[in-house]
Structure 1
Amino acid sequence: MIPGPRHIRVRRQRVVPMALSLVSVVAGVALLHVLGAPREVFALVVAMLVGLVSSLLVTVVRQISIHMSVAGGTVMILLLVLGLPVLPAVLIAAAAGWSRLVLKAHTPAQLLAGTALGGAAALTFALLN
């Protein structure tokens, strides 16, 4: 395990790890396309890519909660796939948001912005599916 803090609290320090993640996800999307992955899997990973790119663009200017972006995207994908019975996922996302507040890692506005961004990025799944 790499020693040091597990979370990157300084916004400008997030850019390099997020950019490397972006390269990885782009490579994954390319492989999924070339290998003929099922449409749903391809759409899910492209939605993840949209969320990552959006988060990276916002992070350059403002700090948002990446945790809540992922949680918001997950809840939206589950809602699109399963319909309304996603209460457990909503509760888990709410717990993640609460923990970020308790840890003083984010403001409520940063949590809401991250959640909205993730949920909006997940709509890519619906467009491609």
Structure 2
Amino acid sequence: MVVLTVRDGRDDLGITVTSFMSVSLEPPMVLAGITSTSYLAEVLDRGDRWAATVLGTGQRALAGRFAIQGRPNARILLASEPHHRGPLSDALIVEGGLAALECETRQRVQAGDHTLFVAEVRSADYVDRGKDPLIRVNRRYV
């Protein structure tokens, strides 16, 4: 599971993303799938920089907070969680995950009811190989 965050002016937005994958090693690129009709997709269409935090098993509640409908802005959701602002994306970055990446969108691809944001990884904010990833399959965490 990944929490994707983006800064939109004075507002900070975020969402739990289940469609996230590596695309290329050279240059390092990733892909995030977002519902095309969502406000977050609209914001990502206006700006190119965002952050992605790969969550660990201990961050299940955080994944749930960023997945609920009508959620408040990301600053409120992260008020009790360690986090910081990424120097390149200006997006909020959750601390304590497996990795945090700052990304810059290079391509947008329409795929059914989703937009696939293909992005170059501009910075690895941190990597912690000592944790297990939070994985959700068939609507259950495993």
TM-score by length of 2: 0.24
Name the structure where helix makes up a greater proportion of residues: 1
Bigger strand fraction: 2
Using CA pairs under 8 Å that are at least 6 residues apart, name the structure with larger relative contact order, 1 or 2: 1
